[in-house]
């Protein structure tokens, strides 16, 4: 069985499982089994965890902990390599998705006035002249006009360099001695 989770939730799940001292898949299985048992209504008392505490009370505590982590700013999106959850052979799989059903990051320009990265790069280079990819990334971040559309990942030198190398945008930029400038 596979389920899709937002990468931030997968990260929170891993954190909570670590606090509980179990694997993420084991924690999810415990939650699902408890929910099924509670829905059936056959069990008088919910199953207990190793410490004698009910799974329902542990789940409520974990939900509160997730909410606290989210409000504390622990919303960084993990890299795709770190979003997989390793299940046992017969265990359900929790997967993060980068597809269209993933929650998108809300931009600062919610009115639809999104600034494209290449446009912001052109504006900075027009004002300041040729720069290294790292300097350009820092200048764009300092301006605060560009917001990553999906990933929420802060702009860095690799992202700038990748955009310069992209065949769609390559005619707009030139590289000379490690510096990026505008094509004439």
Query: Domain residues of the chain, as ranges?
Result: 2-96, 117-182
**Residue 70: CB atoms within 10 Å:** 13
Q: Is the CATH number of domain 117-182 1.10.10?
A: yes
Distance (Å, rounded) from C-alpha 97 to C-alpha 6?
Answer: 6
Query: What pTM was estimated for this model as a whole?
Result: 0.40
pLDDT the model gives residue 66: 82
Residue 53 has a pLDDT of: 62
Give residue 16's pLDDT: 85
With a cut of 70, which residues of the chain have pLDDT below it?
A: 42-54, 73-112, 151
* Helix axis angle, 157-165 to 117-128, nearest 10°: 100
What is the separation of C-alpha 50 from the centre of its chain, rounded to a whole number of angstroms?
Answer: 32
- Looking at residue 78, its pLDDT comes to 45
Cα distance between residue 184 and residue 181, in whole Å = 9
pLDDT score of 73: 65
Closest by CA position to 57, among listed 31, 18, 92: 31
């Amino acid at each position: 069985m596979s389920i899709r989770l937002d990468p931030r939730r997968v990260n929170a799940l891993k954190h909570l499982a670590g606090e509980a001292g179990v694997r993420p898949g084991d924690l999810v299985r415990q939650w699902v089994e408890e929910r099924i048992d509670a829905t059936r209504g056959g069990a008088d008392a919910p199953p207990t965890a190793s410490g004698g505490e009910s799974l329902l009370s542990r789940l409520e505590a974990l939900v509160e902990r997730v909410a606290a982590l989210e409000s504390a700013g622990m919303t960084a999106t993990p890299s795709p390599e770190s979003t997989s959850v390793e299940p046992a052979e017969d265990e359900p799989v929790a997967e993060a998705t980068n597809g269209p059903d993933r929650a998108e990051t809300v931009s600062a320009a919610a009115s639809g006035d999104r600034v494209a990265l290449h446009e912001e790069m052109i504006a900075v280079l027009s004002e300041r002249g040729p720069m290294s990819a790292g300097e350009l990334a820092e200048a764009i971040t300092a301006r605060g006009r560009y917001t990553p559309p999906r990933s929420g990942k802060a702009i860095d030198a690799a992202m700038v360099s990748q955009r310069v190398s992209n065949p769609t945008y390559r005619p707009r930029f030139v590289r000379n001695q490690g510096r990026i400038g505008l094509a004439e």
